[in-house]
Amino acid sequence: MKSTVQLAKIGNSQGIRLSKQLLARYRIEGAVEIETTPDAIVLRPLPSKKLNWEETYCDMAAGDAEDWSEWEAVAEDGIDYEN
């Protein structure tokens, strides 16, 4: 997606305004990581906080039970058992 934005004067500097939709799409809150390359300026959302096992487990336990029924038939496809 390409778009053009005007530079805005901010004190002695200049900046750009990012739309609410763009901020939401990339989950940008408060600050961004900026990288400069020879031909571009790249903005990235800050990495989200590190995952830990306890929070991951709680998130998974709070969600709806997963339906693995379609995998039951797939699990044995192509497997020949010797009797």
Assigned token pair, 3: 């778009």
Work out the percent of the chain whose per-residue pLDDT is above 90: 31
Domain 1-65 fold is: Pemi-like Protein 1; Chain: D (2.10.260)
Kindly report the average pLDDT of the chain as a whole number: 82
36: buried, middle or exposed (CB in 10 Å: 19+, 13-18, 0-12)?
Answer: exposed
- DSSP one-letter code for 58: H
The pTM score is 0.50
Q: What is the pLDDT of residues 34-71, one digit of tens each?
A: 999 999 999 999 887 777 888 888 878 887 777 777 76
Of 76 and 54, the one with more pLDDT: 54
Alpha-carbon torsion angle 36, 19, 23, 2, nearest 10 = -50
